[in-house]
């Protein structure tokens, strides 16, 4: 009888998941339909061109056999921008593969956004279920989180692809820290995977969530001191995360040490200047517009939980307390100006904290919804569909505002226009150019000094440039390639060539000195640290997969023993 019941439960769960996934897919398309799909037009979000350039650069690299690129040769018409190191490409491969399959830039991006939306819902559902084991609450968290107003801002208004990806994977890291502090700490790999995915999505969000973890650990310090093995596994999770992201982290540090980059030389934004008054955020939420819209729904719930704080359990009190703290830190109520010259200023905009506020409020709401509802409503089955309808209407309204606002008319661009991208958009700060870089060189020419030196048969294939030279005297060759560590040069023949160095005028390009006769080859080979760090990450991933497999076998064996004991 128990066997039949188990089979019935498995079948019911399977149908439930299929139905839920179909709904998630519908919501994934609906969330972007009116702004990215309808009438074959896309709303030109703030960072859209930059992220499309990242996708195009990865597509170009794969097409040329460079499967793990470090330099993006789509930007600046081939001059090469090191965004692939500082803004990792790992999660962009689905979009690049869609381009390789023959889809246009716009088509690939739209399908990619549907995929991201879908997995945001799915990951949110399973993350919550892994802690609470209640389907309805897990479903509620998924729709609250997936349709949250601040996430809509990232997806539609800002086109902040990095932060959108961070929204997708953040629940994994959230579950990971809860598991270590309050659950099975041997599942430390959940935090490792979550933090690694956050790093590959958006480094600033991974830093912000690192602050969340720090505060969460402080709030649980008594428990951790009593169970010191949990502290050990936190350390293990941190070290394994560093090793897992080594393929991007170590090359990043190497380039920073190699030369000063723009973001090290000038600060574009200060927290003290970009924080807004509390009422400003309330007004934005009321109008349901703008780029930092936390949403009226989340704001109301935040206020409600402040009033009912004492009725929450310990974990939910901590989550709400941290959410309140992050919300205050996003406003002018917090002295952000004191942080302008600290490491915290790398956050740039304090309203980025809203991703933590959104996660926290949605999580606690899903967990305590029955306690929030009046007794007459409690136990009714219609309140979750009602919330779903409310959030769906809110999603439509937000998209409608973007489509009908006269101030945004010029930001609705035909899909076909994106096939003409030229890769000039490097992001607002152009952070990863060499400090002082000047656009004083055509991307398709070679500067030769003295000009009389014969240079023939110049050819470029992706990142490899070849040419023949006959230099009777020492001659400078300035390549239309931005100077970064990892470029190599070689000469065949009797001629000689110097090491590559940074050109002083026009500043920031790569130059060499040649003499005699020979055939020169200039290409990006990469660095030893890049190669070693890749194998560190690969080895860590293999070991982690092996550990997960062993732990899963142990759990399955324990479940079988329990089932046999129950049958007896």
Is 104 buried (19+), middle (13-18) or exposed (0-12) by CB count in 10 A? middle
Question: Counting runs of H as helices and runs of E as strands, what totals does the chain give?
Answer: 21, 9
The pLDDT value recorded for residue 424 is 72
Contact criterion met (CB below 8 Å) for 434 and 261: yes
pLDDT at 214: 97
Per-residue pLDDT of the chain (568 residues; tens, 9 = 90+): 344 445 546 677 778 899 999 999 999 999 999 999 999 999 988 899 999 999 999 999 999 999 999 999 999 888 999 999 999 999 999 999 999 999 999 999 999 999 999 999 999 999 999 999 999 999 999 999 999 999 999 999 999 999 999 999 999 999 999 999 999 999 999 999 999 999 999 999 999 999 999 999 999 999 999 999 999 999 999 999 999 999 999 999 999 999 999 888 888 888 999 999 999 999 999 988 888 999 999 999 999 999 999 999 999 999 999 999 999 999 999 999 999 889 999 999 999 999 999 999 999 999 998 777 766 655 556 778 888 999 999 999 889 888 777 567 778 899 988 887 877 778 766 889 998 887 767 777 899 998 889 999 999 999 999 999 999 999 999 999 999 999 999 999 999 999 999 998 888 999 999 999 999 999 999 999 999 999 999 999 999 999 999 988 887 776 666 666 655 5
pLDDT at 445: 84
Residue 383: φ, ψ to 5°: -70, -30
Q: What is the DSSP string of 383-436?
A: HHHHHHHHHHHHHHHHHHHHHH-GGGGGGEEEGGGGGG--S----SS-TTSBTT
Helix (H) / strand (E) containing 165: helix 161-182
Per-residue b/e over 176-202, b at no fewer than 16 CB within 10 Å? bbbbbbebebebbbbbbbbbbbbbbbb
Q: Report d(CA 354, CA 11) in Å as an integer.
A: 39
110/404 Cα distance (integer angstroms)? 21
Identify whether 385 is preceded by a cis peptide bond (ω within 30 of 0). no
Q: DSSP assignment, residue 91?
A: G
CB contact at 8 A, 428 and 459: no
Q: How wide is the angle at C-alpha 171 spanned by C-alphas 388 and 270, nearest 5°?
A: 100
- pTM of structure: 0.93
d(CA 345, CA 348): 6
Burial (CB < 10 A; 0-12, 13-18, 19+), residue 451, is exposed
Classify the C-alpha dihedral 515-517-523-526 as positive or negative: negative
CB 202 within 8 A of CB 116: no
Asked if residue 506 has a cis previous peptide bond (ω within 30° of 0), the answer is yes
Specify the 3-state DSSP secondary structure of 526. coil
Please, what is the Cα angle at 181 between 536 and 365, to 5 degrees?
A: 110
What is the DSSP code (8-state) at residue 522? E
Distance, CA of 455 to CA of 135 (rounded, Å)? 70
Q: What is the length of the chain?
A: 568
> Which pLDDT belongs to residue 406?
58
d(CA 285, CA 294): 6
Q: Among 142, 191, 189, which Cα is nearest to 167's?
A: 142
Please name the residue that has the structure tokens 């992706």. Answer: 462
CA distance 218 to 228: 14
Q: Are 467 and 494 in contact (CB under 8 A)?
A: no
Q: What tokens were used for 363?
A: 């999580």
Residue at token pair 């819902």: 121
The DSSP call for residue 72 is B
Alpha helices (runs of H) in 104-160, residue ranges in sequence order: 105-132, 135-146, 149-152
């Amino acid at each position: 009888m128990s066997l039949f019941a188990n089979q019935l439960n498995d079948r019911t769960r399977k149908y439930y998941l299929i139905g839920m996934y179909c709904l998630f897919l519908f919501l994934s398309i609906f969330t972007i339909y009116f702004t990215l799909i309808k009438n074959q037009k896309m709303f030109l979000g703030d960072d859209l061109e930059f992220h499309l350039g990242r996708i195009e650069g990865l597509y170009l690299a794969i097409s040329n056999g460079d499967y793990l690129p470090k330099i993006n040769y789509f930007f600046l018409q081939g001059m090469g921008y090191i965004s692939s190191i500082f803004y990792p490409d790992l999660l962009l491969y689905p979009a690049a593969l869609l381009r390789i399959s023959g889809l246009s830039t716009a088509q690939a991006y739209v399908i990619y956004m549907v995929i991201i939306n879908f997995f945001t819902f799915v990951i949110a559902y399973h993350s919550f279920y892994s802690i609470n084991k209640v389907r309805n609450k897990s479903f509620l968290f998924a729709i609250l989180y997936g349709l949250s107003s601040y996430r809509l801002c990232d997806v539609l208004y800002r086109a902040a692809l990095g932060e959108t990806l961070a929204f997708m994977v953040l629940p994994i890291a959230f579950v990971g820290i809860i598991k270590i502090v309050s659950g099975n700490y041997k599942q430390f790999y959940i935090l490792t995977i979550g933090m690694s995915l956050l790093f590959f999505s958006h480094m600033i969000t991974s830093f912000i969530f690192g602050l969340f973890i720090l505060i969460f650990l402080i709030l649980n310090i008594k428990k951790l001191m009593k169970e010191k093995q949990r502290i050990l596994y936190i350390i293990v999770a941190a070290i394994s995360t560093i090793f897992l992201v080594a393929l991007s982290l170590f090359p990043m540090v190497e380039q920073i040490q190699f030369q000063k980059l723009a973001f090290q030389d000038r600060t574009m934004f200060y927290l003290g200047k970009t924080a807004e008054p509390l009422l400003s955020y309330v007004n934005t939420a009321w109008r349901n517009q703008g780029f930092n819209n936390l949403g009226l729904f989340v704001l109301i719930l935040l206020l409600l939980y402040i009033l009912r704080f004492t009725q929450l359990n310990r974990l939910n009190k901590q989550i709400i307390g941290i959410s309140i703290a992050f919300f205050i830190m996003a406003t002018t109520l917090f002295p952000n100006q004191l942080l302008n010259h600290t490491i915290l200023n790398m956050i740039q905009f304090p309203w980025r904290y809203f991703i933590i506020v959104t996660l926290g409020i949605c999580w606690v709401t899903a967990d305590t919804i029955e306690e929030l509802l009046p007794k007459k409503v409690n136990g009714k089955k219609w309140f979750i569909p009602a919330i779903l309808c409310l959030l769906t209407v809110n999603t439509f309204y937000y998209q409608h505002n973007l489509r009908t606002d006269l101030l945004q008319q010029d930001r609705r661009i035909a899909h076909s226009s994106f096939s003409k991208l030229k890769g000039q958009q490097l992001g607002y700060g152009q952070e990863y150019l060499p400090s002082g870089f000047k656009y004083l060189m055509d991307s398709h020419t070679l500067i030769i000094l003295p000009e009389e030196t014969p240079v023939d048969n110049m050819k470029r294939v992706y990142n490899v440039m070849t040419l023949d030279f006959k230099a009777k005297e020492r001659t400078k060759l300035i390549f239309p390639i931005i100077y970064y560590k990892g470029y190599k040069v070689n000469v065949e023949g009797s001629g000689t060539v110097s090491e590559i160095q940074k050109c002083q005028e026009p500043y920031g390009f790569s130059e060499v000195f040649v003499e005699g006769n020979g055939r020169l080859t200039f290409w990006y080979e990469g660095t030893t640290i890049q190669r070693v760090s890749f194998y560190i990450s690969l080895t860590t991933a293999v070991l982690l997969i092996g550990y997960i497999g062993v732990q899963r076998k142990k759990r399955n064996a324990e479940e079988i023993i329990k089932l046999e004991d129950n049958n007896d």
